[in-house]
Chains A and B, each alone.
Chain A
């Protein structure tokens, strides 16, 4: 079986996705399934200058970074044109990171002209119809290395990948970042964390955590095999969603104390009724610190 030829092309990017992927624990055995034509960090069979000519073979195209229709060049060549020529010949296209998928952080420098490869935030741009049939989007800032290896291996095995309306794999983005968070019990009983730096308490009510309405597997497939933002007391910033980054990320927007955004799919009446009931009870265990280091 011929190994698929892989090109990793960077547009307007910080390289975060390349470095995230580089940390994959099984990186080299994974790469042995592919013919690495170009990668920005790893030893590959061709140089960037050769890639920019647009004529190299390519079965799987990985795109990182947001796109500008004109005005972003390397070696005098518009990157968007290079991306298009490989996108046309590739069998599969994977946009890694929120920038390539939706526009992300760098879109804000020039909102009219910078977008994701086929999506501009939530809207499909002209290019969408041409590439939709072969496109997988792995949004996230950065993408988790194991989300990418999942897609790559599914492609190698020729298995169909169920995707959502933004072309994100449902096996990864079908759940919310909230699933599996170590603070779930505090969420259930509406015990908010008192300030910052405590393992006790939920970050949703005051600290700006977007996990209950952000799609992703961060608390199921842990980051760096060991942790996640919310486990470390940092609120989820909603980085897998087209709207990333929203303003005021460290504070929950509330209307008279009621979170402005509800957990995904939960109607406000249902949420508020439940909140009213749980807030009526004080569960002692959830009000106390778990560990005491005093003698």
Chain B
């Protein structure tokens, strides 16, 4: 039996075909995306720097990650062509800070607009609280800190080859720090009910009891509804973006080893405008859980030991990452030495021919941009988004990560919730 369902509010929509077996359990899911805006084609023929303005328009919620992936691809290309590109620490730290802010905003929206309300709806729990208001408050606060350096969010263009365009003062830095402190207060009091330091130093599953607030509520609801152990997939993780406090590599399941981007392969899928992607032909999960596993965060590993790559572990890893990033963002601000230059390249640097790759960790996982420039214009541009990894259809050998996680679910509701736990970004997936 097959049931079609349009899933909405996933930064766009997707059409899922749920195929049930004779035991009324889901045995297969087909994920279809109906339209591609053709951004990779739009980029062909454009001046390389214009990609800094076009690629953020792939996505309204993770545009900043695209900007940083593009600038890294350009810098990689310049270096390959023999141009010296040496960013000052100041420029690097500012870029990292703004990236951290965007990730935090993403995670918070997913938590309050999707995970918590959808679970409450599924379990038919009356909710008196305005989850949207909390998401809006924290999102505005943290993107304000971001905008102090980038000029605006969404869609800034402040990262350029060689560094950043901004020239902040300590007035700006202190204001940004104040906003981070506000966000930390909110995280500690309302989201997690526990201090960040305490959260980050947890290392056993029993310590989860200390978590209160809305996060505690979500964990409790997952546990008590039997949803904690569903959503397991291939237990295989990968992280490509060298940035923030993350480590790169792959983890199968707990064995961490090195990776080489040359084994990444993108392919067209039938009946969908989304392309699939694999590493050495296998399916890998990207995102907060992957990052937690490869960085070997103690509490993430402890949870994983007990629950594997289930819904609970995945959800935990992401909310945990909010605390991690809030903490790290303060470290970045403290490191800033404003006497350093913001940008090491001038106006009008033209490199006529180059190829480069830029990788960054976006909220949902590794984001890869590849650029090829000939005769001063873009010849080819490739974008591989995190959701492409998690939502690949898979092949005869194995199903895709999210699909595999949904297999075995008894209801469409349950499967849809598992699907949403991967935080799908429809616009990114199809570009």
**Is there direct touching of A and B in the complex, by C-beta distance under 8 Å?**
yes
List the interface of chain A (C-beta within 8 A of B).
10, 12-20, 22-25, 27-28, 40-43, 47-49, 72-75, 105-106, 108-110, 141-142, 194-199, 206-207, 218, 223-235, 237, 239, 245, 247-251, 291, 293-294
Chain B residues near A218: list those with CB within 8 A: 152
B332 → chain A, closest Cβ, in Å?
A: 17
CA distance A12 to B57 in the complex (A): 11
- In the A-B complex, the 4 residue pairs with the closest CB atoms: A197-B342, A232-B151, A233-B165, A15-B60
* Chain B window 134-162, contacts with chain A (Cβ cutoff 8 Å), 1 for yes, 0 for no: 01100110011011111111111110101
A195 → chain B, closest Cβ, in Å?
A: 4
Kindly report which residue of chain A lies nearest to residue B342, judged by CB atoms. Answer: A197
Q: Which of B9-17, B200-208, B238-246, B391-399 contacts A (4 or more CB under 8 A)?
A: B9-17
A16, A47, A251, A291 interface centre (most CB from chain B within 10 Å): A16
A16 touches B154 (CB 8 A): yes
With an 8 Å Cβ cutoff, the count of chain B residues facing the other chain is: 73
A232 touches B158 (CB 8 A): yes
Beyond A12-B35, A75-B15, A224-B140: 12 further Cβ-contacts under 8 Å? A14-B57, A16-B63, A47-B8, A108-B42, A109-B37, A109-B42, A142-B154, A142-B155, A197-B164, A247-B50, A249-B47, A294-B339
CA distance A223 to B158 in the complex (A): 14
Chain A residues near B164: list those with CB within 8 A: 197, 233
B163 touches A197 (CB 8 A): yes
Kindly report which residue of chain A lies nearest to residue B12, judged by CB atoms. Answer: A15
Chain A residues near B147: list those with CB within 8 A: 223-224, 226-227, 232
Chain A residues near B132: list those with CB within 8 A: 28, 41-43
CA distance A230 to B9 in the complex (A): 33
17 contacts between A and B (CB under 8 A): A10-B12, A14-B60, A15-B60, A16-B155, A17-B60, A22-B135, A23-B139, A28-B132, A142-B60, A197-B165, A226-B147, A227-B148, A232-B147, A234-B165, A237-B157, A250-B49, A291-B169
A161 → chain B, closest Cβ, in Å?
A: 24
B60 touches A225 (CB 8 A): no
Kindly report which residue of chain B lies nearest to residue A207, judged by CB atoms. Answer: B347
CA distance A141 to B60 in the complex (A): 10
B25 within 8 A of A: no
CA distance A126 to B286 in the complex (A): 46
B125 within 8 A of A: no
Q: B345: which of A18, A28, A41, A196 is its contact (CB, 8 Å)?
A: A196
Chain B residues near A142: list those with CB within 8 A: 60, 154-155
CA distance A74 to B430 in the complex (A): 14
Q: B151: which of A49, A225, A227 is its contact (CB, 8 Å)?
A: A227
Chain A residues near B139: list those with CB within 8 A: 22-23
